[in-house]
Amino acid sequence: MAKAEGNSVELDRTAFYPESGGQPSDKGKLVCGSQEFNVLKCKKQAGTVVHELDKPGLKAGDKVKGEIDWQWRYRLMRMHTGAHIITMAVQSISQNALVTGGQIGFEESRDDYSLEELTPELVKQIEEKSNEIVNAGIEVQIRQLPREEAFKLPQLFKLRDVLPPSIPIIRIIQIAEDMNACGGTHVKNTKEVGKITITETKSKGAGNRRIYYKLEG
Ligand SMILES: [Zn+2]
């Protein structure tokens, strides 16, 4: 335990994923001897991860063991990987469509795309294409590259002005030909995501469309 202040603690190292980029943080518990503290939420703060607990009682120097709520985390990993897959499907019908926002949830998630229109036929195509990718059982590859090298890749070139120079190493997520810079948590294979159902779409202003989706199981 590096630091404790009321219900908030910082650890020397942690496997808890902090809330970031539309993905909720991990939950779980910290065990200190016979005492258990529920981790309600984690957030990034000044380069460290602050764990918000359900009660105070821990102090700097305490030895704790972290346990991540795996059911919660795995579901979010599937949902997050599903967002990459739906983006691939969207871009298969509209090559220049970009993700403009998104929020991962346990029951339902959403993603916004720069799309002029989203007819029921297009929604059906996106859903079918998404499930084709899921069923193809494609490996989700993760690697890190220095930014100069990363931006030499044509798929990532467009991000060179988006990612601030303070990020020297780019974490690349690749599914088949699709590449993205992403710090989130992913499953290892697209088949782990399970069947994707697009539940609803909404217009979020000119040239912006929102897609809601759920996963089976
Ligand atoms: Zn990702």
Among 13, 42, 68, the domain-final residue is 68
Q: What's the gap in Å between 8 CA and the centre of ligand 1?
A: 27
Q: What's the gap in Å between 35 CA and the centre of ligand 1?
A: 35
Same domain, 64 and 88: no
Would you give the distance in Å from CA 186 to the centre of its chain? 7
Among 46, 68, 90, the domain-final residue is 68
* CA 102/CA 73 separation, integer angstroms: 18
Domain around 13: 3-68
Q: What's the gap in Å between 40 CA and the centre of ligand 1?
A: 23
Calculate ∠ Cα 164-104-42, nearest 5°. 70
Same domain, 99 and 195: yes
Same domain, 104 and 166: yes
Q: What's the gap in Å between 185 CA and the centre of ligand 1?
A: 6
What H or E segment, with its residue span, contains residue 39? strand 35-45
pLDDT in tens, 52-105: 999 999 999 999 999 999 999 999 999 999 999 999 999 999 988 999 999 999
pLDDT in tens, 152-207: 998 898 888 888 888 899 999 999 999 999 999 999 999 999 999 999 999 999 99
Q: Indicate whether 1 pLDDT > 80.
A: no
Among 53, 68, 83, the domain-final residue is 68
Same domain, 14 and 107: no
Q: What is the CATH number of the domain that holds 9?
A: 2.40.30.130
Count of beta carbons in the 10 Å neighbourhood of residue 85: 25
pLDDT in tens, 2-22: 899 999 999 999 999 999 878
For the chain, first and last CA: distance in Å? 37
Q: What's the gap in Å between 4 CA and the centre of ligand 1?
A: 31
Same domain, 36 and 104: no
Q: What's the gap in Å between 5 CA and the centre of ligand 1?
A: 32
Split into its structural domains, the chain has a count of 2
Q: What's the gap in Å between 144 CA and the centre of ligand 1?
A: 13
